[in-house]
Amino acid sequence: MSRRNTEQENWIIYLLSLSRMIYLFPATVKGIGGSKWGYINEKGDFVLPPKYEIAHDFQENGLAIVQVNHLTGIINSDGYLIVKPKYDTISPFSEGRAVAINDEGYTVLDESGKEITTQAYFYIGDYHEGRAVAANNNEHDNYLLGYLNRRGKEVIPLSYEAASDFQDGKALVKSKEGGYSLIDLTGKVLKSYPYPFVNFNGEGLLGFKEKEEGNWGYMDESGKVVIEPKFKDVQQFIDGKAIVTVENNNQSYYGLIDRQGNFIIKPHYNSLLNLSEDRFALGKAMDPEKPYLFPKYAIADASGQIYTGFIYNGVSKFKNGIASAYNDEFTFFIDKRGQRIEHLPKVTGSGSLAFEKSLIKGEVDFRTFYLDKIGRLVWKQNTIIPLNNDYSVIENKYKPNKDYIVYYPQLKGVENQESVNQILKDLSGVKPTLAHTQLESSYAGDFNVPYYKEHLVVIEINGYDYPFGAAHGMPVKKHAHIDLKTGKFYQLKDLFKAEADYVEVISQIIGEQIKNEDQYSYVFPDAYKGIQADQPFFISESALNVYFRPYDIAPYAAGFPTFTIPFNEIYSIINHEGDFWLSFH
């Protein structure tokens, strides 16, 4: 048999294997207890049932990261756990290695799931060119960085204050003494630089500052200044071009320069995004007095030619000449001139579309769905949560404005259904909102059903309100406890005997938890003064859960501090003959 025939046969075998390949796609089902993720095939049928709290895409190595019982593991395409769920998080694989995090710190996993590092680190980054940045404290409690190889060994000692990923066999590091150096894969110093700030910006050029409070410029790797410092900020060179920032009247504006520092796209824009394939998105504030509002984008090429008006709210990167874009109403595909591709799908809402193996994956208006290549729906998340044969929770969508969206619950079969559902709409934030007006903040609301038993359903309503220009928004959380037989919304007081001082009893129990349990060490000193009569709460299978809003007793980062009180601890003050208790017993 000739070599040519053997190659042809191998190619045919390869093509046949592709035709038999089964692609799996993460998909979620909303139900009692929250949403669960599984994996569907290209027909929309579940191959791996929805039993995961989180399910990420399968990677090229045939492995996927999943979460079960708030812990993270790794499965193969058969659903077999290569790594049992025991980590807080696991990063995607890079160069055959994944980084896992638990209470002890960061560690590296190979593709068999084995931990290959012999100790935990304070930090480990992704692998690039066989090296991963790692950090730990030394004996003097100094936080220092170095590099691991693919065997998890410290191939370049942890001795730097800062360290970049490797690129083209080189990385930029900052020594303990404060100077910056370019090193090779062995840690050998190739060149050092006498500047207070240096960035590894690629393509042989490095961003630098001559003075701590000065501007940024570029030098080559030998240290020769190529572009004098004159920019407020600089980004890396890609294909001979870099995005830079200048300041004018205390406002930042973005432009695009070539390797000589000449502007290809002048710095007239509030945002400038590299979309790859020699395309850029130019962002312009629609209200010059409010530059903090999200800009509108136009599409331009690398020569500065602008193809569209400022018509897009968001644009993804180009791949094979196609990108995804959205405006106030629709999400769709565009070509490299920024024009909608008519034969590809267009969907209502804001988000992105992307070719994902044999399907088109949509992530629009906070929902994931899949279409086939001609735009027919293959799968989307359910909008009905059956409780039993008589009752169900139905998801409705309210989006009167591009910056205001609420998924709100409506009950079917409940007594006094109309009035119950109006209360649920009000609790969810369904309110008159102007359609074609720029709002001062954005709001996104959703819900889940954490608990249902007998004829009590608990609905959690959550949201996020973000005032434009603020450092962060404010999360929203509410719980509705509804008796399906009567339509009554129960309050905290309804759980207890009329003569019981439940506020005092619960306040004391929570006070003891704060005092004695390390998990509540984040509570502000002396901030806790007890609960209110109408304190936010929710019922779970065997406990009362009481929570506080951000900033009430703890910092914003603590979220909603929640205290679990088993029913047996407050058994004596519960009204066991009351409607609330009987609704789920």
**Domains of the chain, each with CATH number or no CATH:** 387-583 (3.90.640.20)
> What's the rounded Cα separation, in Å, for the pair 381 and 244?
42
Half-sphere exposure of 77 (CA within 13 A, CB side): 12
CB 314 within 8 A of CB 296: no
> What's the rounded Cα separation, in Å, for the pair 530 and 528?
6
Statement: residue 379 has pLDDT above 70: yes
Q: Using alpha carbons only, how large is the chain's radius of gyration in Å?
A: 28
> How far is the first Cα of the chain from the last one, in angstroms, to the nearest whole number?
77
Statement: residue 16 has pLDDT above 70: no
pLDDT at residue number 14: 41
> What's the rounded Cα separation, in Å, for the pair 150 and 155?
9
% of the chain residues with pLDDT over 70: 96
> What is the arithmetic mean of pLDDT over 216-231?
96
pLDDT at residue number 469: 86
> What's the rounded Cα separation, in Å, for the pair 6 and 4?
5
pLDDT at residue number 202: 82
Statement: residue 1 has pLDDT above 80: no
Q: What is the mean pLDDT of the chain?
A: 94
pTM, to two decimals: 0.90
Statement: residue 2 has pLDDT above 90: no
Half-sphere exposure of 335 (CA within 13 A, CB side): 8
Going from the C-alpha of 92 to that of each of 25, 65, 100, 365, 450, the distances in angstroms are 16, 8, 9, 25, 29
What pLDDT digit, counting tens, does each position of 424-466 carry?
999 999 999 999 889 999 999 999 999 999 999 999 999 999 9
Q: Is 96 left (phi over 0), alpha (psi -120 to 50) or beta?
A: left
Cα dihedral 81, 84, 88, 93, rounded to 10, equals -50
Phi, psi of 20, deg, nearest 5: -90, -5
> What is the arithmetic mean of pLDDT over 567-573?
97
> What's the rounded Cα separation, in Å, for the pair 157 and 146?
5
Phi, psi of 510, deg, nearest 5: -65, -40
